Amino acid sequence: MLVFDQVGYYYRRGQEVVKEVSFTIQKGEFISIVGGNGSGKSTLAKLMNGLLLAKQGSVALGEQATSDPDQARDVRQTIGLVFQNPEDQFITTNVTDEIVFGLENIRVPPEQIGGRVQDALRATGLERYADAAPHELSGGQKQRAAVAAVIAMQPQFIVFDEATSMLDPEGRNELIKLMRDLHAQGITIIQITHHMDEVLASRRVLLLDQGKLAFDGPTDRFFREVPLEPYGLERPFAVRIGQQLGWSGEATADWKGRAASQWSIE
């Protein structure tokens, strides 16, 4: 369980980016965090695994406080973070070495590393590119390589910070499918996105506005009750069509399944 309790953060004193934010994320959830530019989304992502430390309030993973340096390694191993630009994560010269680098950093026994690398490559569909250099990969493949390096460390939570924003439609579809597959395996997925059609894959939405939490609730209620235009957001095409056809806003299980699996940006 990840708990934010009255969290505040600023890069420059007197100019808060996150303001008194409180929420709890349970293991096994699939959550989208949305908001306009400058609303504090990426700052929130970095606060989740201790890359940034709260100036006010507290962030805790179970009994582990992210502000405790003795627990920082465990927190970051439990909560993986995938950045907007995958090249920001690459350190080595090929995909396999990239995965191995992270495993060595968390001191995985050498006899376990080979199996974890193969599992991560298989999960992300990159077996053929195990020896490829990052610059030889497409944008979608680069992002999947970054995800492979994270999932090899076997985190319980993965935060995708605008991870689809630099991808073409095919790459975005592939990455959303990968998120859903990882969620089906029991990993908690937290995606930060400005693409509202991607939100349909999640079960819960957190809306940030000028650093404050403006909404926290189920995805169908978010699209039914929240006027998105004031936040610089737009309803997905599937939702707009459904409402024009008389959809009441009460999502059925069948509608949720279809929306999550058939959102298309082609």
pLDDT tens digits for range 203-238: 999 999 999 999 999 998 999 889 998 998 888 877
pLDDT tens digits for range 125-178: 999 999 999 888 998 899 999 999 999 999 999 999 999 888 888 888 889 999
The residues facing 65 across adjacent strands are 60
Q: How many Cβ atoms sit within 10 Å of the Cβ of residue 189?
A: 23
Whole-prediction pTM = 0.87
The SS3 of residue 186 is coil
Strands (E) located in 180-223: 188-192, 204-209, 212-218
Which positions ≥6 away from 240 have C-beta within 8 Å?
Answer: none
